């Protein structure tokens, strides 16, 4: 990763949160010692809505990047109290479940990449299908797939939550502070209240379905059914109550007892009651997987890029895209005037079509679908990518077909295109050289729109995921061939989440932690971060702020109003069907510099980076 001077900052003409306010946040987290630390609720200055230029943040020893300033601050205070990167990530997640309930929470799941200074570990907290789940459960009485929104709001969509139990298991290995201490920031904010942010207000107001849930209607909206305004102090005593139980009893408090009973009750209620049971919740187990890594050379330097294996499809797809690009010949500069060239976008989106064709064909929970040739790395093998790259020509292929890695023939049918949503990303590096990249989710905005409470007299609660809509709605193709990512009991749905750690191949030194929300587009948002930092010499903030682009093996997608007409016309001339659209990434990244660490947060969302 080439050194970028930290003087290359972006102007903050419409600051999401002023630099003075950030200093205030940091000052409120003055470093006590480990034993005497008590969480201090920071000032909550007003924030702007919409896309907001951000400067990037430089720190010497440690840093936290997350999607909301209050969550970032909680993680920062934990680091200052002597907590590990994993401790900080737990505190961040618990606050995000309060202040960014649309994206993640204790009712969802997560993938977490951890580096302890020597070893990389992949912690899988992905939700699972209940024992009563069945392949046709997302089909209507006519045998056709349900409308997506109808499926999302059904009880069938709710998977067994995994985030809390996964974090608990990871904390046993990598935690420094006591488990219960990490809950203090979220409990304090839930009890004392947090100010509704512009993004939360906008999403609440726009959501057409959340008001259908009586608990959510009463909590998130006023008597007239309008979202609480920006700056409204929102308290969530039920969330604080549940967190106190988990802090004292561990994940058992969520997976057994009154909270578990409330989860089951909400899941087994109309519309389309699901089958999730107390036994499903008791039986849930997180997994520790071997990280999936590939080598990648850029600007005469070789990197080791590590991410999550299946059931995530993200890292394989990124490895394929970058590997395919390396086998193509540029026609002119790849990056000029602050933007990728039309030729590079052509080659990138063609590589994406090939990668997404393989993704639809092969990738699913490895406990239910074997890797081609017995190894997921076969999809990123140099010879296979070299052969596949020959399909990239001067004109767009429009839609790619899957390949045959290692010459393997498969009995699977490709999964049809299907909507994906959601998530939030957290990156942390601590002063001891440990690092976390964690992507966390309840899938769609506000998940299944089912709010859980153990006591309806107490305001608030938490939202349940709709993660099972990441399965294929149809279990087989018209010829009867099964789809690898079909619904099966106990199975983890395929994901696009791509928490990523980048290392120097020669020295083994950690260079970057990053990732993004965004459904299937997570793959492109995170690949953009890698292209910008590794290939184009941008700092993390500049790379995060670049316009978004991609293809899901269909039209070429460009972030609206971010590319010149000449680029669009050049792509159309090469046969692309171009769609300009809103592409709201939420990238967070922290990269190593000669003087410490430099963090970037996506201008499209409310995140910041704090550190020391």
Q: Where are the domains of the chain?
A: 19-289+418-548+583-611
**Four-way CATH pick for 19-289+418-548+583-611: 1.10.10.10, 3.60.20.40, 3.20.20.70, 3.40.50.300:** 3.60.20.40
pTM (predicted TM-score): 0.93
- In the predicted model, what is the mean pLDDT of residues 8-20? 34
Count the neighbouring beta carbons within 10 Å of the beta carbon of residue 425.
38
Q: How far is CA 454 from each of CA 91, 239, 251, 460, rounded to the nearest angstrom?
A: 23, 10, 16, 10
Q: What is the rounded distance in angstroms from the CA atom of residue 444 to the CA atom of residue 102?
A: 8
The two structure tokens encoding residue 575? 């046969």
Cis amide prior to 459 (ω within 30 degrees): no
- In the predicted model, what is the mean pLDDT of residues 317-321? 98
Is 11's pLDDT higher than 90?
A: no
Q: How far is CA 388 from each of CA 323, 349, 358, 405, 463, rounded to the nearest angstrom?
A: 10, 14, 11, 10, 43
Kindly report, residue by residue over 254-298, the tens digit of the pLDDT.
999 999 999 999 999 999 999 999 999 999 999 999 999 999 999
Q: What is the rounded distance in angstroms from the CA atom of residue 363 to the CA atom of residue 182?
A: 35
The whole-number pLDDT of residue 14 equals: 30
Binning pLDDT at 50, 70 and 90, where does residue 35 land?
low
Is 49's pLDDT higher than 70?
A: no
Is 19's pLDDT higher than 80?
A: no
The whole-number pLDDT of residue 25 equals: 46
Binning pLDDT at 50, 70 and 90, where does residue 20 land?
very low
Coil vs helix vs strand at 128: strand
Kindly report, residue by residue over 116-153, the tens digit of the pLDDT.
999 999 999 999 999 999 999 999 999 999 999 999 99
| pLDDT > 70 fraction of the chain, expressed in percent and rounded | 93
The two structure tokens encoding residue 189? 């904010």
| pLDDT > 90 fraction of the chain, expressed in percent and rounded | 89
Surface-to-core class of residue 151, CB atoms within 10 Å of its CB (0-12 exposed, 13-18 middle, 19+ buried): buried
486: which DSSP letter? B
Coil vs helix vs strand at 481: coil
Binning pLDDT at 50, 70 and 90, where does residue 45 land?
low
Q: What average pLDDT is seen over the chain?
A: 93
């Amino acid at each position: 990763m080439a050194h970028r001077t930290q003087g290359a900052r972006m102007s903050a003409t419409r600051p999401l949160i002023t630099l003075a306010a950030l200093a205030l946040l940091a000052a409120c987290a003055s470093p006590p010692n480990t034993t005497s630390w008590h969480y201090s609720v920071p000032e909550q200055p007003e924030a702007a809505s919409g896309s907001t230029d951000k400067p990037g943040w430089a720190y010497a020893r440690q840093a936290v990047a997350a999607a909301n300033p209050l969550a970032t601050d909680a993680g920062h205070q934990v680091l200052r109290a002597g907590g590990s990167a994993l401790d900080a990530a737990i505190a961040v997640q618990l606050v995000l479940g309060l202040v960014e309930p649309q994206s993640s929470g204790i009712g969802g799941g997560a993938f977490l990449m951890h580096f302890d200074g020597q070893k990389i570990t992949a912690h899988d907290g992905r939700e699972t299908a209940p024992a009563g789940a069945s392949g046709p459960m997302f089909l209507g009485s006519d045998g056709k797939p349900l409308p997506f929104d109808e499926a999302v709001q059904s009880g069938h969509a709710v998977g067994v939550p995994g985030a809390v139990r996964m974090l608990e298991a990871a904390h046993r290995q990598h935690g420094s502070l006591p488990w219960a201490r990490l809950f203090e920031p979220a409990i304090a904010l839930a009890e004392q209240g947090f100010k509704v942010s512009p993004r939360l207000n906008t999403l609440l107001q726009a959501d057409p379905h959340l008001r259908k849930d009586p608990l959510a209607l009463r909590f998130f909206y006023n008597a007239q059914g309008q979202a609480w305004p920006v700056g409204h102090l929102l308290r969530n005593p039920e969330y604080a109550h549940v967190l106190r139980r988990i802090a004292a009893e561990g994940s058992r408090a969520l997976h057994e007892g009154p909270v578990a009973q409330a989860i089951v009750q909400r899941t087994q209620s109309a519309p389309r009651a699901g089958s999730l049971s107390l036994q499903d919740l008791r039986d849930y187990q997180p997994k520790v997987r071997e990280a999936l890594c590939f080598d990648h050379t850029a600007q005469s330097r070789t990197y080791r890029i590590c991410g999550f294996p299946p059931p995530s499809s993200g890292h394989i797809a990124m490895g394929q895209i970058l590997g395919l690009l390396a086998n193509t010949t540029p026609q002119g500069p790849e990056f000029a005037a602050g933007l990728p060239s039309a030729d590079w976008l052509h080659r990138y989106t063609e590589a994406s079509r090939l990668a997404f064709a393989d993704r639809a064909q092969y990738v699913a929970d490895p406990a239910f679908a074997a890797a081609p040739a017995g190894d997921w790395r076969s999809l990123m093998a140099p010879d296979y990518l070299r052969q596949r790259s020959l399909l990239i020509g001067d004109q767009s292929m429009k839609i790619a077909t899957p390949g045959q890695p290692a010459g393997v023939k498969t009995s699977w049918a490709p999964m049809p295109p299907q909507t994906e949503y959601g998530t939030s990303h957290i990156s942390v590096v601590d002063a001891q050289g440990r690092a976390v990249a964690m992507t966390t989710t309840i899938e769609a905005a506000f998940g299944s729109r089912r709010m859980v409470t153990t006591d309806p007299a107490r305001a608030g609660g938490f939202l349940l995921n709709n993660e099972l809509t990441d399965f294929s709605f149809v279990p087989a193709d018209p010829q009867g061939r099964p789809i690898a990512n079909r619904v099966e009991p106990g199975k983890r749905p395929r994901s696009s989440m791509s928490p990523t750690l980048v290392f120097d191949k020669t020295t083994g030194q950690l260079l970057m932690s990053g990732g993004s929300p965004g459904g299937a587009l997570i793959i492109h948002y995170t690949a953009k971060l890698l292209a910008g930092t590794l290939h184009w010499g941008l700092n993390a903030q500049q790379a995060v702020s670049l316009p978004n682009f991609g293809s899901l093996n269909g039209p070429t997608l460009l972030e609206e109003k971010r590319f010149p007409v000449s680029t669009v016309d050049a792509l159309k001339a090469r046969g692309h069907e171009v769609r300009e659209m809103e592409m709201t990434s939420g990238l967070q990244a922290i990269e190593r510099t000669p003087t410490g660490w430099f963090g970037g947060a996506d201008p499209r969302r409310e995140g910041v980076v704090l550190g020391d």
